[in-house]
Amino acid sequence: MVKISPSILSADFSKLGEEIKNVDKAGADFIHIDVMDGNFVPNISIGLPVIKSIRNKTDKVFDVHLMIENPSRYIDEFVEAGADIITIHYEAEKHIDRAIDYIKSKGVKAGVSLNPGTPSIVLKDIIEKLDLVLIMSVNPGFGGQKFIPYSINKIKEVKEMSLNVNKDLLIEVDGGVDKNNSKAIVEAGANVLVAGSAIFGDGKLKENIEAIRG
């Protein structure tokens, strides 16, 4: 079954702990946490103290997406804060293979994310050791953007690439995911869907999660 990873970037930060408890009860599989540094992407978002403060609000997997420069410098801190999956951007890390190995050595799962303009072929030599590939279907840094259609082909390419070397790979898609396109995204090969405003937008958490899951 496809997993749903609600992005708390779209939650009400004035009651974040309550929002996380509610989305957990509503059927979330993971909790997607976007970390932005104002450098790799234009915005600044959730940092280590916030992640630590919400770790005790749910037992669900903390799916931590680092949209930051030189992410390998901070792996220890994010592990200590409670991350279960740490995803770094291919474009942000000079020594991607070493960074993946280091994340896995800390006992958490390792993911690599690709921006829309980065071709899937860059994963060819590392896909075998990855736990997750995150395909950005919008340009990272802002919520509420529209899904980029050519992302479907990239999902298919990553799925095909993984078939013989990493059949258990999580293929996650983040950006503009909603109930209208989730079926096509899953049919292309994705098995984890990130959604923010499409889940938190109207307070109907359970209904929205079920609609996206299909």
Which residues are documented as binding site for a divalent metal cation? Answer: 32, 34, 65, 174
Q: Label residue 76 exposed, middle or buried (CB < 10 Å: 0-12, 13-18, 19+).
A: exposed
Active site residue 178: no
Of the listed 37, 63, 131, 174, which one is catalytic?
174
Active site residue 125: no
Of the listed 34, 37, 63, 131, which one is catalytic?
34
Residues in binding site: 7, 32, 34, 65, 141-144, 174-176, 196-197
* Pure H helices in 33-95: 48-54, 75-81
Q: Tokens 């060819």 map to which residue?
A: 124
> Any residues with CB less than 8 A from the CB of 149 and at least 6 apart, and which?
none
4: region left, alpha or beta (phi > 0 left; psi from -120 to 50 alpha): beta
Residues in binding site for substrate: 7, 65, 141-144, 174-176, 196-197
Catalytic site positions = 34, 174
